[in-house]
């Protein structure tokens, strides 16, 4: 059973930047939106084909994401801008009538959430996504359609849900709910309500908390 973590926040609040200190040799980054990283990134190499070397793959295809997660030997998998996977499918099928496309979008999201917790025991999956507020003012993961929101409930698939927090130029992650969001983490995992937005530090805490082994860094191609 792999450890899956959901990291939520509005654009520009430090989700992607939190990758700045994580080891690229141990990490596969799946970008659902094709854009440059927001920090110096010489050690992050773009891949175009599965057989290519590199640790960054750009795709919003649920099937390709599923395949990359399953086949990658990397200890850590990061999926950035996950909401774009759902938006892209919705837009590509905008001419279709009826609810079948929403059922497919929901099924694809569910398959990724489920797989994130079914990889090898030493592996960690971090899914980064934007937020939205529901009719009651609760902040949740941004999705498309009621099936994902009401039937699947993305946050329920994760024991750890962090949310970005920005105050006076300081970028942090919230580790527990403020009463109007879905943040959560196991008891005694994090010492503070707010922690630095450093995914390497988060991953170290997660690995120590669950007693995960650390195999040697894999080759760069899957």
Between the CA atoms of 198, 88, 183 and 215, what dihedral angle is there, to the nearest 10 degrees? -50
Query: What pLDDT shows up at residue 222?
Result: 44
* Better pLDDT: 55 or 147: 55
- The arithmetic mean of pLDDT across residues 4-28, rounded, is 95
Alpha-carbon dihedral sign for residues 172, 173, 176, 177: positive
How much is the pTM?
0.91
Give the pairing type, strands 124-129 and 76-80: parallel
Query: What's residue 138's pLDDT?
Result: 85
All structural domains of the chain: 3-188+197-210 (3.40.50)
| pLDDT band, very low/low/confident/very high, at 216 (cuts 50, 70, 90) | low
In this predicted model, what pLDDT tens digit does every residue of 71-102 receive, in sequence order? 999 999 999 999 999 999 989 888 888 888 88
pLDDT digits (tens, 9 = 90+) for 120-159: 999 999 999 999 888 778 888 888 877 676 778 889 999 9
Pairing of strands 139-141, 160-167: unpaired
Q: Which residue has the higher pLDDT, 102 or 60?
A: 60
- Please give the torsion angle defined by the CA atoms of residues 20, 25, 31 and 35, in that order, rounded to the nearest 10 degrees: 50
Question: In the prediction, which pLDDT does 221 show?
Answer: 45
20-49 pLDDT tens trace:
999 999 999 999 999 999 998 889 999 887
- Whole-number Å distance between alpha carbons of 16 and 86: 19
Q: How far is CA 96 from CA 15, 37, 101, 148, 153, in A?
A: 33, 34, 8, 19, 25
């Amino acid at each position: 059973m792999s450890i899956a973590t959901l990291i939520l926040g509005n654009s520009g609040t430090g989700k992607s930047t939190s990758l700045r200190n994580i080891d690229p040799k141990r990490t596969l980054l799946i970008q659902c939106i094709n854009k440059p990283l927001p920090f110096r990134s010489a050690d992050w190499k773009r891949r175009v084909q599965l057989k290519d070397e590199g640790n960054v793959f750009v795709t919003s295809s649920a099937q390709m994401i599923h395949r990359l997660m399953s086949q990658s030997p990397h200890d850590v998998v990061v999926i950035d801008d996950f909401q774009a996977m759902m938006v892209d499918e919705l837009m590509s099928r905008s001419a279709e009538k009826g609810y079948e496309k929403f059922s497919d979008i929901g099924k694809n999201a569910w398959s990724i959430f489920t797989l994130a917790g079914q990889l090898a025991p030493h592996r960690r999956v971090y899914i980064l996504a934007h937020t939205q507020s529901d009719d009651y003012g609760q902040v949740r993961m941004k999705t498309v359609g009621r099936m994902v929101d009401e039937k699947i409930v993305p946050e329920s698939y994760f024991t750890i849900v962090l949310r970005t927090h920005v105050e006076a130029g300081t970028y942090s992650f919230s580790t527990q709910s403020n009463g109007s969001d879905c943040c959560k983490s196991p008891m005694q995992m994090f010492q503070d309500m707010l922690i630095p937005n450093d995914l390497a530090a988060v991953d170290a805490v997660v690995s120590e908390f669950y007693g995960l082994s650390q195999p040697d860094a894999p080759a760069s191609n899957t």
